[in-house]
Structure 1
Amino acid sequence: MPRFDIEGFVDRQRIGRTQIAVLLVCGLVCFIDGFDIFMVGKIAPAIAADFGQPPEAMAMLFVAQQIGLAAGAFIVSPLADRFGRRRMLIWACALFGLITLGSIHSQTLTQLAILRGIAGLFMAAGLPMALALISEMTPRHRRSIFIAIALAGYSSGNAASGAVAAWLLDAYGWESGFVIGGVVPLLCIPLLLLLVPESLKFQAERDARDPAISATIRRMDPTVRLSGDEEFVLGTNAATPQKARLFDIFLEGRAWMTALIWAACILSMTNIALLASWLPTFFQEMKDIPIQRFAISAMISYLGGIAGMLSIGWLMDRFDPSRLISLYYVALAASLVAMAWVPFEATLFIAVLIFWNFVQTGGQGGLNTLVTQVYPPRMRSTALGWAGGAGRVGGVLAPLYGAFAIEQDFSLETTLGIAAIGPLVVAVLVLLLRHTGMSRNLDASGVPARA
């Protein structure tokens, strides 16, 4: 029985219509993921006021969203390793879009929080499944930059959500953000059905004789000759295909590496969740800056987030990932301290916001990209999803700290100074990954992931 090397086939491909379609559609999924996760924090005071509640009452909604995101990362993301990335992306987009649209009709803040939590179950799965699909359909020499571009879409969604607060809030109310957040995922469904094939690597590891693999190969390269009785494998020396097992990310010497990645994601995503939920409110309550004014400044600064995401992908193809990512997190801690002390009216404040977004987005993007490099395809969606789920667990506590800081009348300097501790610890954890044998864990291309 002839063996066909899927890994070699993918890596030999030039960037063509299939790879561009996967990038654009999965990038749109990442865009709406970033839009929805960060949108609520930017309009939180308006939502609270509309329901007749004080700003700190929004902690309930933020906690519910984070619980949903954590549960979805642990429960839904692994399903992509069993049923397919494309199929589960379609289901996630459909359910998330419908629930988000339904949230507009909430009668109380509690109802909105419950629906937001349920929507989070499916929102959390979008990013890891999209990144897994991109990484498995892209040649090795373009993989990091393609993932970075998709994550730049996530940052663009973050920026676009600021437009709701800056321009749509007064005219159309907080509901306008939920309309956008619900319609776009539904638009992704026909694009996934028509333009995006299932991951070849997923199919090969599930069933080495799956006839659908031949159809996708011919779609990507009509010149390839297939006899019809091939066994599709990953690598010329590939072992018998293995089905995904839920706890593979802890086996074969990966336990210590996985534990450090989870700890880094917990602290990193706790910090992101805190600032996404509360930063506009911190400036309104602690510095008397209206959320509309802060939103305009923040929108400009999100250009830094896009640049940070693209830069980390380019740099990780050229430099030691662990040292590089650690540097980003040290810079993130410094930017949080600077944000608290530089006056909002100063021109330098915009520069600080841009730099903060650059290193925050680039650092988290670096962690996500690292996960795609050091875990095999059969467990990649689980690895990404569970690392994100661990991060969301920390994010459940972050909204509580934000409410506590407001209730206790903390200064902005104290609030952001405490928040800066987390990134420093992340920098240390990522450096420790160098001593876990991470370099011996092969990425999907068969090349040792640098550490």
Structure 2
Amino acid sequence: MPRFDVEAFIDRQSIGRPQMTVLLVCLLVCFIDGFDIFMVGKIAPAIAEGFGEPSEAMTFLFLCQQIGLAVGAFLVAPLADRFGRRNMLVFACATFGLITVASVYAQTLFQLSIMRGIAGVFMSAGLPMALALISEATPKKRRSTFIAIALAGYSSGSAASGAVAAWLIDIYGWQSGFWIGGIVPLLCVPLLMFLVPESLKYRTERDPTDPRIANTIMRMDPSASLSDDELFVLGENEATAKKAQLLDVFLDGRAWMTGIIWAACMLSMANIALLAAWLPTFFQEMAGVPIQEFAIVAMIAYIGGVVGTLTIGWLMDRIRATTLIPIYFVGLSIAILLMARIPFEAPLFIVVLLLWSFTQTGAQGGLNTLITQVYPPRMRSTALGWSGGAGRIGGVISPLFGGLAIAQNYSLEFTLGCIAIVPLVVAILVFLLGKTSYAQRTAPVAATG
């Protein structure tokens, strides 16, 4: 029986229509994922005012959203390793879109908070499944770059949510963000169903005799030489049908590496969730800066996020990730400290926001890309989802500090000074990650996918 190496086939492909289609559709998924996750924090004061509640009342909504994101990362994302990346992505987009659209009819802040929590269960699965799909459809030499582009779409979505705060809420109210956040994922459903094939690597590891593998290969490369009796394999070892087990991320020498990754993701995403939820409110309540003015400046800073994500993707194809990523986190800590000390009206403040966005999105993008490199395909979605779930646990806890800071009338300098400690700890963890034996075997010197 002739053997056909699917992994080598994918790595031999030049970038063409199949790869670009997967990238563009998944880019849209990442965009709306970033939009929805960060949108509520940008318009939080307007939502509270719309329901006649004080700003600190939004703490419960942030808590519900983060709990939903954590639950979804642990429960929904791993299902992509059982039922397919594309199938679960379609299901997540459809369910999340419908719930988000329905949220505009909430009558109380409590109702909106509960609906946001339920929507978060499905929203959290979008990014890890999209990244897994991209990483398994892209040749090794361009993999980190393609993932970086998708993550730049995620950052673009976050920036686009600022447009709601800057211009739409005064005309259409806070509901405008939820209309956009619900309709776009529904539009992604037919694009995924009709334009994006299921991951070849996923199908090969699940069932090497699946006839759809040959069909997808011929669509990708009509000149591929296939008979009717190939045994499809991944790499040098013969592939056998395997069902991903949830505990695989801890087996075969991966336990220590997984523990460090989870801790790093927990702290990194706790930092992101806290600032995404409360930063506009911090500046409004502690520095007297209206949310509309802060949103406009933050949209400019989005450029830094895109550059940071693309830069780290390009560099990770050339430099050892566990050396590069800590540099971004140290820069992030410096940027957070400077935000509290540079006057908002000063031109230098925009530079500081650019640095903050550059390092924050670049650093988290580097962590996500690293995860796709050090775990094999059959557990990749689980690894991304569970790492994201660990991060969401941090995201559940960290927004509580924002509510406390507002209620206790902390100064902006003290508040951001405390937050700046977190990225330094993450930098140390990622550096230690490079010392684990499994990470050294799977991600030597430069990113190899």
TM-score (norm 1): 0.98
Letter of the structure 2 residue corresponding to residue 346 of structure 1: A
Match of 2:409 in 1: 409
In the aligned structure 1, how far is the partner of 2:200 from the partner of 2:448?
A: 25
Question: 1:85-164 residue pairs with structure 2 within 5 A?
Answer: 85-164=85-164
In the aligned structure 2, how far is the partner of 1:62 from the partner of 1:441?
A: 39
Contact 1:439 1:448 in 2 (8 A): no
User: How far did residue 382 of structure 1 move?
Assistant: 0.2
The yes-or-no answer on 1:322 pairing with 2:361 is no
In the aligned structure 2, how far is the partner of 1:359 from the partner of 1:238?
A: 41
Contact 2:319 2:447 in 1 (8 A): no
Contact 1:32 1:157 in 2 (8 A): yes
Contact 2:71 2:389 in 1 (8 A): yes
Match of 1:169 in 2: 169
In the aligned structure 1, how far is the partner of 2:349 from the partner of 2:36?
A: 26
Deviation track 1:137-181 (CA, whole Å, cap 9, x = no partner) reads: 000000000000000000000010000000101000000000000
TM-score (norm 2): 0.98
Match of 2:42 in 1: 42
Match of 2:370 in 1: 370
Contact 1:320 1:450 in 2 (8 A): no
Letter of the structure 2 residue corresponding to residue 234 of structure 1: L
Structure 2 residue runs without a partner (length 5+): none
In the aligned structure 2, how far is the partner of 1:88 from the partner of 1:440?
A: 32
User: How far did residue 122 of structure 1 move?
Assistant: 0.4
Contact 1:165 1:295 in 2 (8 A): yes
Contact 1:6 1:201 in 2 (8 A): yes
User: How far did residue 418 of structure 1 move?
Assistant: 0.2
Match of 1:344 in 2: 344
In the aligned structure 2, how far is the partner of 1:450 from the partner of 1:202?
A: 19
Match of 1:355 in 2: 355
Match of 1:396 in 2: 396
Match of 2:308 in 1: 308
Letter of the structure 2 residue corresponding to residue 348 of structure 1: L
Contact 1:308 1:358 in 2 (8 A): yes
Contact 2:98 2:182 in 1 (8 A): yes
**1:4 aligned counterpart, secondary structure:** strand
Q: 1:352 to 1:440 in 2, by over 3 A?
A: closer
User: How far did residue 440 of structure 1 move?
Assistant: 4.4
User: How far did residue 231 of structure 1 move?
Assistant: 1.1
Q: 1:337 to 1:448 in 2, by over 3 A?
A: closer
Match of 2:2 in 1: 2
User: How far did residue 442 of structure 1 move?
Assistant: 3.2
Match of 1:183 in 2: 183
Question: 1:426-441 residue pairs with structure 2 within 5 A?
Answer: 426-441=426-441
4+ aligned runs moved over 6 Å, structure 1? none
Letter of the structure 2 residue corresponding to residue 175 of structure 1: Q
Q: 1:173 to 1:259 in 2, by over 3 A?
A: same
User: How far did residue 438 of structure 1 move?
Assistant: 3.3
Structure 1 residue runs without a partner (length 5+): none
In the aligned structure 2, how far is the partner of 1:152 from the partner of 1:220?
A: 26
Root-mean-square deviation (Å): 1.4
Contact 1:169 1:176 in 2 (8 A): yes
Letter of the structure 1 residue corresponding to residue 82 of structure 2: R
Letter of the structure 2 residue corresponding to residue 392 of structure 1: R
Deviation track 1:343-369 (CA, whole Å, cap 9, x = no partner) reads: 000000000001100000000000000
Match of 2:212 in 1: 212
Contact 2:321 2:446 in 1 (8 A): no
Letter of the structure 2 residue corresponding to residue 25 of structure 1: V
Aligned residues: 449
Identity of aligned residues (%): 69
Match of 1:195 in 2: 195
